[in-house]
Structure 1
Amino acid sequence: MQHYYSTLLDIPAALPLPKAILLDAFGTLFGVRGSVGHIYSEIASKYGVNCQPELLNKYFYTAFKNSPPCVFPGVPADEIAEREYQWWREINRQTFTAAGVITQFADFDRFFQELYRYFTTAAAWEVYPDVIPALTSWQRSPVQLGVLSNFDSRLYTVLQVLELDRYFSTVTISTAVSAAKPQPEIFTAALAKYQCTPASAWHIGDSFDDDYLGASRAGLTAIWLNRS
């Protein structure tokens, strides 16, 4: 059975609740306030670099799509944050290089440090209007809620500043388990925290390939949140 919905509130009450509901983060619980390109352009302008937001948005998503998964098998836990940082720095370097303005930076590293920190603040994000009502309703039931995301370690801070952390008993991210959606290992790692079988869990996310197909192949009830 296929489950496609445009908001979390559209998921019918008649669908039997599972033991655990795992939700994706970016694109499901919250999105970028404005656009990536607008944020990049605004912060870059503080460093004397001017570029059209639409152009930066285009090249960012191209670089992001072509990058390897943000996972680092075999890397010690205390080195993961630095690897994440460098992973995002390379995407940003490619973005501004493709836009033809990388040489305008007097100190690209200083710019990127500010940009990277900005995405840990509430100002960078907006919670979708259906999220709090849906989470509140589920929290009143016996179901357990968890986040399952390919986001990096900054997600813990983002959930806190957006006041979403109170709804979830676990957070599972790709860099912590050395596997990224749609790989089945990341779903297995999240379910293990609940001692829950795949058949007793939902996964809800906005990516058809990573969330819907990934969860389906891992044996969970997959729900595609197609907000567009």
Structure 2
Amino acid sequence: MAAPSGGDRPKVIFLDAVGTLFGVRGSVGQIYQAVAQSFGVDAPSDRLNQAFFQEFRAAPPMAFPHSDPATIPHQEYQWWEAIARNTFQQAGVLEQFADFPQFFQALYQHFATAQPWLIYPDVLPALKGWRSQGIELGIISNFDSRLYAVLNALNLSSFFSSVTISTEVGTAKPNPHLFQASLQKHQIAPHQAWHIGDSHREDYQGAKAVGLRAIWIRRAVG
């Protein structure tokens, strides 16, 4: 990750979460396969992985504008359940589940733990370096509210003074409102912040359009 220096130093560096700070161990398909096997269902991991990304890319943004905050966790759950159900349907094994809702509950909870995630090797040195320079750090993510549990499980929470997620704001990157909500938390202008993320459209173009210095980091996709 880039290291600021001298007059180039921002007041705040925002980062995306999944795909930037940490990624899936192996592949989503491998994890779906492993959890499904514990429920007596088997399907090729490569087929599940392909089906998952087709469904994920076709899904609407995970943002629920004008929703009662108390209902958001349930809406997040339903959003992911639809993707998982369609993934196994597309893989041709959905009918093998004796109780798909029970399986999905286990799958959903699994992704709230540290087990399926891997922190990228350059992340901790960068976070420690920025913190030592007195730079505030924040997260801007289109992930759901399980992100708080994942950050805690990966021992990353202490690095960040703000976490802003799409489901809480009601709009997803690249919509400018998500970036603006993050800036407001730190009471800074866009030119005083950087944003680093792995999506050219959501992170780089989204942040640049608001006036932040945008940095696109390209990770290997599992």
Fold equivalence (TM over 0.5): yes
Structure 1 segments, 4+ long, off by >4 Å, are: none
Question: How far off its partner does 1:141 sit?
Answer: 1.3
TM-score normalised according to structure 1 size: 0.94
- For residues 1-228 of structure 1, the aligned pairs below 5 Å read 8=1, 10-11=2-3, 13=5, 16-228=8-220
**Structure 2: any 5+ residue segments left out of the alignment?**
none
Identity within the alignment, %: 52
Between the aligned partners of 2:187 and 2:44, the Cα distance in structure 1 is: 49
Between the aligned partners of 1:53 and 1:40, the Cα distance in structure 2 is: 7
Between the aligned partners of 2:42 and 2:173, the Cα distance in structure 1 is: 35
Contact 2:51 2:90 in 1 (8 A): yes
Which deviations, in whole Å up to 9, do the C-alpha atoms of 1:28-70 show, x marking residues without a partner?
Answer: 0000011100000011011111100000000000000000000
TM-score normalised according to structure 2 size: 0.97
Between the aligned partners of 2:62 and 2:141, the Cα distance in structure 1 is: 11
Q: Which residue of 2 aligns with 1:5?
A: none
Between the aligned partners of 1:13 and 1:58, the Cα distance in structure 2 is: 41
Which deviations, in whole Å up to 9, do the C-alpha atoms of 1:78-132 show, x marking residues without a partner?
Answer: 0000000000000001100000100010000000000000001111101001100
Which deviations, in whole Å up to 9, do the C-alpha atoms of 1:183-204 show, x marking residues without a partner?
Answer: 0000000000010100110000
Secondary structure of the residue aligned to 2:215 is strand
Between the aligned partners of 2:54 and 2:196, the Cα distance in structure 1 is: 25
Contact 2:4 2:10 in 1 (8 A): no
Q: Which residue of 2 aligns with 1:3?
A: none
| AA in 2 matched with 1:60 | F
| AA in 1 matched with 2:179 | F
Question: How far off its partner does 1:213 sit?
Answer: 0.3
Between the aligned partners of 2:69 and 2:109, the Cα distance in structure 1 is: 20
Between the aligned partners of 2:219 and 2:3, the Cα distance in structure 1 is: 13
RMSD over aligned Cα, in angstroms? Answer: 1.1
| AA in 2 matched with 1:70 | M
Between the aligned partners of 1:72 and 1:81, the Cα distance in structure 2 is: 10
